[in-house]
Amino acid sequence: MHNSCRLLILQASPRKESRVVNAASAISEIVKNAGGEIRVINTCQLQVRPCNGCMKCRETGICILPHDDMKTVADAIQWCNALLVAAPTYWANIPGLLKLLFDRMVPVLIKDGPSGHFPIPLHKGKCYAVITACSTPWPFNRLIGESSAMISAVKRIFRYSGFKYVGSIQMGGNRSFSESNCEHLAKALLRS
């Protein structure tokens, strides 16, 4: 493992002691102990205006909305070389506040290609992973698409940005995270 990992954790759980938060903390400690740097952004504490869908940011790379906490997130994404999305699954999807943030991340993740065709990724060479938990019992959380649908939604968002997916932890029902899963995911983030 190398020690140049700069891990950004987008922590989207509203609960301070949730399984998602505890698993992200375990991964953070492993990365820190391997010499990595960590930044955590609690998305529930951000003030971010909703996207208005004008798509000007695709042309200019700058959002036309007044300055808000999106700038903090944009700077952190530029800084990191590894990203961990740590969020509960709500109705087989991303929590609303995290989705609001992702809607505003267009100019941070991609830019328009020539003639407005296929977007150009802005983060080639970086990696990301996802941690989620839901109330649907394991293994049904995966089989009926609860937590797996949330993971899929995050993958769709990062697909065009150049970030490489390295894995996930999906906790269903009251099942807690395992230390070995956290160690495995942290090593994947450190390797990439």
Whether 1 is covered by a domain: the verdict is no
Contact 100, 135 (CB under 8 A): no
The two three-digit tokens of residue 42, written as one number: 């609690």
Whether 147 is covered by a domain: the verdict is yes
Spell out, as residue ranges, where the chain has pLDDT lower than 70. 1-3, 116
Contact 16, 46 (CB under 8 A): no
Whether 23 is covered by a domain: the verdict is yes
pLDDT of residue 5: 95
Chain-centroid distance, C-alpha 8: 8
pLDDT of residue 127: 97
Whether 108 is covered by a domain: the verdict is yes
Whether 13 is covered by a domain: the verdict is yes
User: How far apart are the C-alpha atoms of 192 and 81, rounded to whole Å?
Assistant: 9
Whether 65 is covered by a domain: the verdict is yes
Q: Which domain holds residue 96?
A: 6-191
CATH value at residue 77: 3.40.50.360
Measuring CA to CA, which residue among 150, 113, 165 is closest to residue 13?
150
Whether 154 is covered by a domain: the verdict is yes
For the stretch 24-70, pLDDT in tens is: 999 999 999 999 999 999 999 999 999 999 988 887 888 999 989 99
Q: For the chain, what is the domain count? A: 1
pLDDT of residue 155: 95
Whether 60 is covered by a domain: the verdict is yes
* pTM: predicted TM-score of the whole model, two decimal places: 0.91
